[in-house]
Amino acid sequence: MERIVILISGRGSNMQAMVEAGLPVAAVISNRAEAAGLEYAVARGIATVIVEHRDYATREAFDAALAQAIDGFHPELVALAGFMRILTEGFVLRYRGRLLNIHPSLLPAFPGLDTHARALAAGVKLHGATVHFVTPQLDNGPIVIQAAVPVLAHDDEARLAARVLAEEHRIYPQAARWFLEGKLVIESGVVRVKGDHPQQLYAP
Ligand code: GRF
């Protein structure tokens, strides 16, 4: 069965959502030994690997070690799930077309960090999350699915982040499943899902 390698740096709740959705997760790899998500993976009997970025002098050397760890599992799909390292172009191109990321905003709005605070400061009325194929440009790349979340009058960063996260847990497993089922087609940088499944969700 086709399998997924998930890269995390911390909590790992998106990784957990994929496991709980019954997706075939071959391994969880973290760049930080203290990533909380590793405990969950170990408890579920999933292989875990730690590739500490601090042990490598350059991004290239780290990415080479990471690629070696990933390739040992022969995954179909590599999923970034809260993986807080900027990847080299060489790494991204090696996994071109089979590297997904989840980002907590409606891209192309708010790439980068602190998306919820920036959404509140900008006064947007809709915020959300995006699953996209990874390209060498940060938080860019063909969009697979987005979830829209209303920004409510009394939202603060924590409340908004929690509602967006709940949607992340719905859209990332869906996107990964479509990928493994061979349903994702990229045409001129735009992703279509075979069978015309809706590529947007609205927070209930
Ligand atoms: C999520 O908000 C994800 O969109 C972002 O980092 C966070 C990771 O959370 N890239 P978790 O580790 O999956 O719980």
Ligand 1 in contact with 11 (CB < 6 A)? Answer: yes
What is the Cα–Cα distance from 67 to 192, expressed in whole angstroms? 28
pLDDT of residue 196: 86
Q: What is the pLDDT of residue 118?
A: 98
The residue length of the chain stands at: 204
103 is catalytic: yes
Give, for ligand 1, the residue of 143, 168, 169, 171 to mutate: max count of ligand atoms closer than 8 Å to Cβ. 168
- What pLDDT does 204 receive? 78
C-alpha 78/C-alpha 81 separation (Å) is 10
Rounded CA separation 8/14 (Å): 9
Q: Check residue 133 and give its pLDDT.
A: 98
Which residues of the chain does CATH 3.40.50.170 include? 1-95, 103-204
198: CA distance to ligand 1 center in Å? 23
Report the atom number in ligand 1 closest to the C-alpha of 83: 10
The answer to whether 90 touches 60, Cβ cutoff 8 Å, is yes
pTM above 0.85, yes or no: yes
In short, whether 146's Cβ falls inside 6 Å of ligand 1 is no
Sort residue 109 into left (φ over 0), alpha (ψ -120 to 50) or beta.
beta
Q: Residue 184: which of 146, 135, 132 has the closest Cα?
A: 132
Angle (CA) 46 135 20, round 5°? 25
CA 136-141-155 angle, to 5 degrees, is: 115
Query: How far is the centre of ligand 1, averaged over its atoms, from the C-alpha of 14 (Å)?
Result: 6
CATH class of segment(s) 103-204: alpha beta
Mean pLDDT per 10-residue run, the chain (204 residues)? 88 98 98 97 97 96 98 98 96 97 98 97 98 93 98 96 98 98 96 96 90
User: Residue 2 has what pLDDT?
Assistant: 56
3-state DSSP assignment of residue 187 = strand
Determine the topology of domain 1-95 in CATH.
Rossmann fold (3.40.50)
CB 102 less than 6 A from any atom of ligand 1? yes
